[in-house]
Chain A
Amino acid sequence: MQSELNNSNYIHPGHMACAGCGEVLGIKLVLQAAGKNTIGVVVPSCIGIIIGPFPFATFKIPVFHSAFETAASSAAGISNALLVKEDKETVVIAFAGDGGTTDIGFQSLSGAADRNENIIYCCFDNEAYMNTGIQSSSSTPYRAWTMTTPLGKTLKKKNMLEIMGAHQIPYAASACPCFSDDLRKKISEAKNIKGMKYIHILSPCPTGWRYPENQTPNIGRLAVETNFFPLYEIREGKKYKITYQSKGFPVGDYLLRQRRFEHLTQEDLEMIQNEVNKNWEELKRKHARK
């Protein structure tokens, strides 16, 4: 399976992503696992840029670039049309950013989850409106610098995966392109489940997070190894499974490598560490629950 996946690639070189982009790596992995019988919906986000300007195309699958808040409703429109056409093979994937998911697209996503639409919704979370020039979203972490939170965000990051879990959809999972096998496995899993699937993909962003572009693999790994972004699955809103046992490094190992957090005080760090510990313990409890 591994070698088969590695041989496939559904994006052309010469795409429009920044050097060191974690998101485009995630897209590549998602498409590898999804395969060629896939229709994509893209909405304004970095992905909307990555797919290329007319007449160039980055994706080797058919893609519809829809309006900002419609990733889920557009994907649902396609999957319903495929049902009518009795096409059971084609997978429909929505590609949206964190702003398009946790903010402006939240209503249509919740609606699609409620109706249990047969789509895979991938939120590529680079934790701010990066495409428009690094403005804060509800997915921007506490204390992070952005152009609209110049002194650091004072509000916490919205926990989108738990919200999607609460919709009791068949499958919800977190993933990170720096754990490529885990990510591909989750997409392969999602492909075989009927109904709504939600994958929240942390997408390290050298441009917006202010770290050197060759550090993306390390940054993504550290987000997971510090439990800042744990990798897990939620089935039917109830069954939790941690899919990677982290090493539990201190959060400073992750945060202080990024200049968006360079203003953090010792007090901030302790507060964030406490929060991460608390969340991790709770997740372990849910994982252990039968």
Chain B
Amino acid sequence: MRMLLTGNQAAAYGARLARPQVIAAYPITPQSPIYEKLSEWDGKGILGARMMRVESEHSAMAACIAASLTGVRTFTATASQGLALMHEMLHYASGMRVPIVMVNVNRSLAAPWSFWSDQTDSLAQRDTGWLQFYVADNQEALDTVIQAYSISETVLLPSMVVLEAFYTSHFSEPVEVPDQEMVDAFLPAFEPEFFLNPQKPATFCQTVTQSQYAEFKLSRQTAMENALEAVEAVNKKFKEHFGRQYHLLNCYHNDDAEIVLVTAGTIGSTARVVIDELRAAGKKVGLVRIRLFRPFPKTALIDSLRHTKKIAVIDRNISPGQEGVFSEELKSVLFSRIQDIPVFSFVLGLGGSNVSPGHIKKVIEITTHMKDAPLNPIANLEDDNAIRIKQQ
């Protein structure tokens, strides 16, 4: 059924259609509408899951981990401070290899207080062993939640589906909501091989030796590496069932482009408009929107960027003292295969400040005219003087 939904509502529909059995949640702006929608369905008796209205995000994740280890499908949603509070348990979830699916709505982290879009909250969790999907619209939000269960339950790693505060979370778009039967046909029930079971007692998560620890962590790395294949396989299966498909990267006119813009999330949607405009004016520009951040799609990135002359990365996040995380990660991948494409790093849109088509055009303009990429990120497009200094 086609419905007009916000990204939060679309994500909630995706969650409900995936038939989680235990949901543990705690309110936080701008995620709360997901929790509220699920509660509304719970009140009507059509949710089909047990709702735990816990006293913190930390407990939400702890409860999801324990419920998942008891052999049931779980869901939670959070944002910003809530995700930061969960940090300890995020490591725990992937270490226990539980396929939890969580929606995180990107929101700026205090201090100072702010409530708008910023990717630093989820990117700061990059080493916790979760798959991370950055979606650009509401349909993708719904579909990715459903896909994430299939992928996570295949590789036994948790997945984070990332929306953006107020851009995706609160904007309404027409969304195709699939029938329950269609989703059931795509996503079978969760039946883990090992779970807490008095008929078959086992101790979960014991103390290990140094070498055992290394073995556990390296097996998780292998699972992460294998997840790339699982994501593609699930994409393919999803297309067969629903007719829509998503890839590791969302590429647009990148094959013959002299400058490729690399970004993630909603900036990618705005950029498409700019690319169309610049192409019409005869400029060879392209776009690569990174959809899957963990595992990092290294081969796909190298393949999609190897023929370009320059790369501009727009990050709505910053690792203080370094640069934007997508830019940093991209450089590390390119360094091992292609060293002669300069990567221009732009940090824009922090705290939800607008990244307009005009800004993106300026990014392309700066990248066109600047010879060498500065070591530090370009963060102020208005200040030509600052850009010149960085160039020197």
Contact = CB atoms under 8 A, between A and B. Distances in A.
- Are the chains A and B members of one assembly? yes
B55 A77 contact: no
A74 interface: yes
Given A67-B89, A81-B22, A54 B207 contact: yes
Given A61-B201, A63-B204, A84-B50, A108 B58 contact: yes
Interface stretch (A37-45, A154-162, A171-179, A272-280): A37-45
Contact of B205 (A39, A58, A65, A77): A65
A111 B50 contact: no
A180 B196 CA distance: 28
B21 interface: yes
Interface string B73-91: 0000000000000001100
A73 B59 contact: yes
Nearest to A37: B198
B56 interface: yes
B180 to A, nearest CB: 18
A158 B212 CA distance: 39
A257 interface: no
Contact of A41 (B60, B66, B72, B209): B66
A110 interface: yes
B15 interface: no
B391 interface: no
Nearest to B212: A54
B70 A78 contact: yes
B208 A53 contact: yes
A228 B49 CA distance: 46
B65 interface: yes
Interface bin, chain A = 35 or more
A54 B196 contact: no
A57 B69 CA distance: 18
B247 to A, nearest CB: 34
B330 interface: no
B65 A66 contact: yes
Interface in A34-62: 36-39, 41, 48-49, 51-55, 57-62
A73 B69 CA distance: 13
Interface in B313-343: none
Interface string A70-86: 10111111101111110
Given A64-B66, A81-B66, A85-B71, A70 B53 contact: no
Contact of A51 (B52, B66, B203): B203
Interface string B185-211: 000000000001110111111111100
A66 B63 contact: no
Contacts of B88: 67
Contacts, number: 143
A69 interface: yes
B177 interface: no
Contacts of B197: 62
A270 interface: no
Nearest to B59: A73
A110 B63 contact: no
Contact of B62 (A48, A70, A90, A110): A70
Contact of B196 (A55, A78, A114): A78
Given A67-B88, A76-B63, A60 B201 contact: yes
Residue from A51, A70, A72 whose CB has the most chain B CB atoms within 10 Å: A70
B203 A80 contact: no
A210 interface: no
A40 to B, nearest CB: 9
Given A38-B198, A75-B66, A81 B203 contact: no
A168 interface: no
Contacts of A83: 50
Residue from B62, B64, B69, B207 whose CB has the most chain A CB atoms within 10 Å: B62
B24 interface: yes
B67 interface: yes
B101 to A, nearest CB: 15
B70 A82 contact: yes
A61 B63 contact: no
A107 interface: yes
Contact of A59 (B60, B70, B203): B203
Contact of A81 (B67, B198, B205, B212): B67
Residue from A52, A53, A76 whose CB has the most chain B CB atoms within 10 Å: A76
Contacts of A115: 52-54
B171 interface: no
B94 to A, nearest CB: 13
A65 B206 contact: yes
Contacts of A82: 70
A244 B22 CA distance: 41
B115 interface: no
A74 B66 contact: yes
Contacts of A111: 54-56, 59
A208 B353 CA distance: 56
B201 A80 contact: no
B196 A77 contact: no
11 contacts: A49-B207, A62-B197, A62-B200, A66-B205, A70-B62, A73-B54, A77-B62, A77-B70, A78-B66, A78-B196, A90-B198
The 3 closest A-B pairs by CB, nearest first: A111-B55, A77-B66, A77-B63
